[in-house]
Amino acid sequence: MERSRQELRDLGLLEGIERDPDTTQANLASQLGVAVGTVNWHLKRLIAKGYVKVRRAERRKLRYIITPEGLALRARLTVAYIENSMVLYRQARAEARRALKKARDHGLRAVRIEGKGDIAEICRLTCLEQGIPVVGDGRAEAVGVLEVRGSQVVLRQPEEAE
């Protein structure tokens, strides 16, 4: 977990520097939602490893330059991020399919989705694909509830949902 967080920050820094080589550590920190000290630590590490070079543009202004090695690292981190995202997407979809199969096995013809975010959206798309209507809270008939808990999808039966 710590490694992937570090890789995400490295990727964010490299992308931020690529967009604006004259950016400041404060701007990078704001973009990443971290402290300036965290950006400083990561930048020093990237500089020490040869992924980024720093040049003085003015007396108090620095310019960051991504080296060819840094560009290769950014490409590797981007591919790893996309692969990891696809793994999570496939897992969420498989969980949604299992929950919908269970709903069908229990005779449920529609579901309500409780939760927000990407996993809930994956559940909505999977319901659409499977031909299972997603209903709102005001529906009178008994429906199952797909409850999104973090990255898990749990089916609650109508009697459990009330």
Residue 55 sits in the same domain as residue 117: no
Structural domain count of the chain? 2
Tokens 């109508």 -> residue? 158
CB-CB contact of 88 with 15 (8 Å): no
DSSP string spanning 30-72? Answer: HHHTS-HHHHHHHHHHHHHTTSEEEEEEETTEEEEEE-HHHHH
Do 152 and 104 share a structural domain?
yes
Asked, for residue 73, whether it belongs to a domain, the answer is no
**Tokens linked to 115:** 């939760």
Q: What is the full per-residue pLDDT of the chain (162 aa) written as tens digits?
A: 466 888 999 999 999 999 999 999 999 999 999 999 999 999 999 999 999 999 988 888 899 999 999 999 999 999 999 999 999 999 999 999 999 999 999 888 899 999 899 999 999 999 999 999 999 865 556 788 999 998 889 898 876 544
Whether residue 153 sits in one domain with residue 94: yes
Are 55 and 103 found together in one domain? Answer: no
The verdict on 141 and 96 lying in the same domain is yes
**Measured CA angle at 13 (ends 53, 75), to 5 deg:** 85
Task: Give the domain extent around 136.
Answer: 88-161
Q: Does 62 share its domain with 13?
A: yes
